[in-house]
A and B are shown apart, each in its own frame.
Chain A
Amino acid sequence: MSHCRLFARLLLQQAGVRHCYTGNRKNLYINKNTKVICQGFTGKQGTFHSQQSLDYGSQLVGGVSPGKGGKTHLGLPVFNSVKEAKDGTGADATVIYVPPPFAAAAIIEAIDAEIPLAVCITEGIPQQDMVRVKHKLLRQSKTRLVGPNCPGVINPGECKIGIMPGHIHKKGRIGIVSRSGTLTYEAVHQTTQVGLGQSLCVGIGGDPFNGTNFIDCLEVFLQDPKTEGIILIGEIGGDAEENAAEYLKQHNSGANAKPVVSFIAGLTAPPGRRMGHAGAIIAGGKGGAKEKIGALQSAGVVISMSPAQLGSTMYKEFEKRKML
């Protein structure tokens, strides 16, 4: 750990702050052995989705609700802090349903407890708070954060962390990464319908400052033999899609390139307006859908102009490559 900090400090002079942090991308790949705790366990959202998680078969092992430590909720132990919960259950992931005024502190608590994966569902965290969280996040290596403002992560049939409807998923061959929750469900629904199924789905969320980006997920997908195709769902605002395109050019070209299909939302969005997501805004002529589409196409990504054709487009790509 201190070795990493020293190294990080040296790299801080350049742009290498993320070096430590990018080493833990593999923490994204949850599975049937992943033990999950829930922060905000006894709240309305926490309770509802924890029950859904249990019904799905995820290994939810307890939760955190400050002041209610020692009690039982949904038949599971409640702890006062993430550290106590981790020590008490051996949890390796946490899902956060804490309201916006306290959510950043909840994420920091998870980082301090060195929990390998933290998934923050909360929408509405002030950007300044997330900038501070990210400052801490990038200078450590134990914890990977997904979100905030995201639906979560799911390995179909093995582990579901978040609010996605489990029943639309099917274990399979496609890795899905998306900034939009409901568009992810569209992609999942369609890939299930065409019989391809999903290997791992990661919702990275709609906020401008978040813990995991497209590239983090693409690395996992490209290195995973079970993931044979990738669906990337982007939207206006920022440059995450352009960065992803660059990454794909470097790491997913040539004969062994995995098929990547993409939809970018917001071609009809007016500039200057925040389209729901805090990060979905075309500012000063930058962040438009057209440019993102162009960048991805130049990296060999197949763009679907309709969000209803993601499954069929991927199916065609599999057909072309005789992967069916």
Chain B
Amino acid sequence: MAASMACQAALRGLRAASSKQLLGSRNQLARVSPRRWLNLQEYQSKKLMQDSGVTVQRFFVADTASEALEAAKRLKAKEIVLKAQILAGGRGKGVFDSGLKGGVHLTKDPAVVGELAGKMLGFSLTTKQTPKEGVKVKTVMVAEALDISRETYFAILMDRSCNGPVIVGSPQGGVDIEEVAATTPELIFKEVIDICEGVRDDQALRMAANLGFKGPLERQAADQIKRLYDLFLKVDATQVEVNPLGETPEGQVVCFDAKINFDDNAEFRQKAVFAMDDTAESDPLETEAARYDLKYIGLDGNIACFVNGAGLAMATCDIIDLHGGKPANFLDLGGGVKENQVYAAFKLLTADPKVEAILVNIFGGIVNCAIIANGITKACRELELKVPLVVRLEGTNVQEAKRILSESGLPITSATDLDDAAKKAVAAIGKN
């Protein structure tokens, strides 16, 4: 997210970030240390990078304190960094319920690594970006600590205005790149990459030079840039952000951290990557919905939405808000929805304790309204629906659908259009 910000800034000059904090704590500002949305742990991202020949700190992972100790010994490093593996950021300043302060520790002694790991593994780490109860740490990364003499920022992303990949970098790394974009935009450099050509030598070298790498380091950095680009393509990333891309006193160019965003549409050919998806820190409802190929995003309100089509689903949330209500979720059933998905979606929505009313808004193009109606009536009966249900249907086979709903004997409020549906849903809250 920060990379995209930098890129947009680079491409169009200064523009103040205008992230609107909406609907409370669950929706984070797109700012410092954003979450890794495809839920890959740091060590998994670094393994992907290693496999592409990108230079990262040597590391092992450990699930037990003794494994951590062994790993620390095997590393044979001058200094070791021990890092708790959770998806949320802010680990350095976090606190464990074992009493240990800090999710990242430096030490020269493998024994200390083992000892500290024992206070991390199996305990909950709470940071500014985790829920209050923290996140259970199941894995730690034991890595060779390297001195960083200089930090740069580097990112690759698919950019719409350039119709393809761009590489973006700044010699001001390690800090909030958005600040760099805002205060010193001349320190943000970009190269537009031709997808058929790849990163040309001159582009890689120019970026390396702009990042401040000199002498033999320039070629080394250019090489790392090309490898990162290869990785970007290989895993169908929409964004690879390296912050910092650092220089060590010994003259090495190292990627000290990376966040990779993956294209969900590429899941069918990125099975290995998506298999690493760790949903432990995700909203359980979102995880459950994904199992049924439903596009569900939890929000903070109490009016559940059940819609076909992403645009209409967003608009439904918008219009609930416009009429003074608060949407509980975004849910796009998609075009080819099957009856069992309708049932599963309904079950999901009704299982959410926050939900006090349900608004169904279906405009059938591919979607056959009768299928929706059957799914709803079945779900209502089996789940013993307790909250008010407002239904607005339109489109393919709508008459049949309306007949199914009215003959079901279920307490369903019909609505004529989206405004009417939203008003009725908002009015239904508190009446029940």
- Verify A239–B160 contact, CB threshold 8 A: yes
**Chain B residue total in the interface (Cβ 8 A):** 77
Q: How far is the CA of A151 from the CA of B396 in the complex (A)?
A: 14
Kindly list chain A residues whose C-beta atoms are within 8 Å of the C-beta of B34. 272
Check: B164 CB closer than 8 A to any chain A CB: yes
B15 to chain A, nearest CB (A): 8
Kindly list chain A residues whose C-beta atoms are within 8 Å of the C-beta of B158. 127-128, 131, 208-209
| Given A131-B165, A290-B20, CB of A181 within 8 Å of CB of B309 | yes
- Verify B266–A128 contact, CB threshold 8 A: yes
- Considering the complex, which residues of chain A in the window 173-214 have a beta carbon less than 8 Å from any beta carbon of chain B? 178-183, 185-186, 189, 206, 208-209
When C-beta atoms are compared, the residue in chain B nearest to A280 turns out to be: B310
- Verify B18–A291 contact, CB threshold 8 A: yes
Check: A285 CB closer than 8 A to any chain B CB: yes
Kindly list chain A residues whose C-beta atoms are within 8 Å of the C-beta of B268. 100-101
- Verify B263–A186 contact, CB threshold 8 A: no
- Considering the complex, which residues of chain A in the window 53-112 have a beta carbon less than 8 Å from any beta carbon of chain B? 100-101
Bits for B325-340, please: 1 = Cβ < 8 Å to A, else 0.
0010010101110000
Q: How far is the CA of A263 from the CA of B194 in the complex (A)?
A: 34
Check: B23 CB closer than 8 A to any chain A CB: yes
When C-beta atoms are compared, the residue in chain A nearest to B362 turns out to be: A182
Check: B100 CB closer than 8 A to any chain A CB: no
Q: How far is the CA of A39 from the CA of B15 in the complex (A)?
A: 44
- Verify B26–A276 contact, CB threshold 8 A: no
Check: A308 CB closer than 8 A to any chain B CB: yes
Check: B364 CB closer than 8 A to any chain A CB: yes
Check: B264 CB closer than 8 A to any chain A CB: yes
| Given A182-B308, A286-B5, CB of A265 within 8 Å of CB of B314 | yes
Check: B247 CB closer than 8 A to any chain A CB: no
Kindly list chain A residues whose C-beta atoms are within 8 Å of the C-beta of B307. 182
Q: Which of B135-143, B316-324, B424-432 is found at the contact surface with chain A?
A: B316-324
Kindly list chain A residues whose C-beta atoms are within 8 Å of the C-beta of B238. 127
Count A/B pairs, Cβ under 8 Å: 225
Check: B30 CB closer than 8 A to any chain A CB: yes
Kindly list chain A residues whose C-beta atoms are within 8 Å of the C-beta of B17. 284-285
A162 to chain B, nearest CB (A): 9
Interface residues on A, range: 35 or more
- Verify A134–B163 contact, CB threshold 8 A: yes
Q: How far is the CA of A274 from the CA of B314 in the complex (A)?
A: 11
Q: How far is the CA of A199 from the CA of B336 in the complex (A)?
A: 28
Check: B27 CB closer than 8 A to any chain A CB: yes
| Given A185-B363, A209-B160, A270-B297, CB of A307 within 8 Å of CB of B310 | no
- Verify B30–A288 contact, CB threshold 8 A: no
Bits for B5-45, please: 1 = Cβ < 8 Å to A, else 0.
11110000001011110110011111000110100000000
- Verify B265–A308 contact, CB threshold 8 A: no
Kindly list chain A residues whose C-beta atoms are within 8 Å of the C-beta of B7. 284
Pick from A135, A178, A183, A285: contact of B19, CB under 8 Å: A285
Pick from B20, B29, B233, B315: contact of A265, CB under 8 Å: B315
Q: How far is the CA of A128 from the CA of B233 in the complex (A)?
A: 8
B232 to chain A, nearest CB (A): 9
Check: A138 CB closer than 8 A to any chain B CB: yes
Check: A164 CB closer than 8 A to any chain B CB: yes
Check: A9 CB closer than 8 A to any chain B CB: no
- Verify B418–A308 contact, CB threshold 8 A: yes
Given pairs A125-B265, A128-B236, A151-B365, 5 additional interface contacts (CB within 8 A): A168-B395, A266-B318, A267-B318, A275-B310, A290-B18
- Provide 15 A-B residue pairs closer than 8 Å at the C-beta atoms, listed in order of the A residue: A101-B269, A123-B334, A126-B269, A165-B364, A185-B365, A209-B158, A209-B164, A271-B20, A274-B264, A276-B309, A276-B310, A283-B5, A284-B7, A286-B8, A307-B318
